[in-house]
Amino acid sequence: MANIAHRIKIPSIVLECMESRTENNNAVTHVTTRLWDEEVLKSDVPVLVDFWAEWCGPCRMVGPAVEQVGKIMAGKVKVTKLNVDENQEIAMRYNVQSIPSLLLFKGGKEVGRTIGAAPKERYLQFIENSLKS
C-alpha cells in the first residue's frame, strides 16, 4: 500500500489510519509491516497475531473466532490480523509457511504458535497455555 500511496499522494495520517484499522469495537486491529514493532513487539500486553490472506478459505472461517477472542480477551491480550500478501516481510521473518497461523507474542518475543482453523475455545486455550510457560 505504501508504494501506491506515494504515487497517488495519500497523506501519511490517512495512510496510518488505513494501516492500523480496527473492527468490531476495537476487538481486532489490522497491522502492517510498517506498524509491526509499535503494535506487536512493543506492546504492554501479549499480542495474538492472525496471519491470513483474502484468498484463504480457512482464514475466512477463522475470522469470526478471532474476533470473538478479541472481545473476550479485551484488555488482557491485543488481537491483531496481518495480511501475508501485503506484509510478506513479516511472514517470512517468522517463517509462516501455512495459513491461518496464529502467533502469540509477549515482551516482543514469540511465545506460542498454532496453525489451522479452530473454534474460539481452542484459541483461548492456546493463549492460556502459551502464557503459562
Q: Which of 22, 33, 90, 100 is nearest to 61 (CA)?
A: 100
Predicted TM-score of the model (pTM): 0.81
* Structure confidence at residue 75 (pLDDT): 92
Catalytic-residue membership of 59? yes
**CATH code of 50's domain:** 3.40.30.10
Distance CA 53, CA 59 (A): 7
Longest dimension (CA), the chain: 47
What pLDDT, in 10s, does the model give residues 82-124?
A: 999 999 999 999 999 999 999 999 999 999 999 999 999 999 9
In terms of residue numbers, what domain contains 45?
20-132
Q: Which of 43, 22, 41, 24 is nearest to 33 (CA)?
A: 41
Distance CA 103, CA 49 (A): 5
Task: From the candidates 28, 40, 47, 59, give the one annotated as an active-site residue.
Answer: 59
Task: From the candidates 28, 31, 40, 56, give the one annotated as an active-site residue.
Answer: 56
Domain count, the chain: 1
Catalytic-residue membership of 17? no
Q: Is 47 part of any domain?
A: yes
Q: Is 2 part of any domain?
A: no
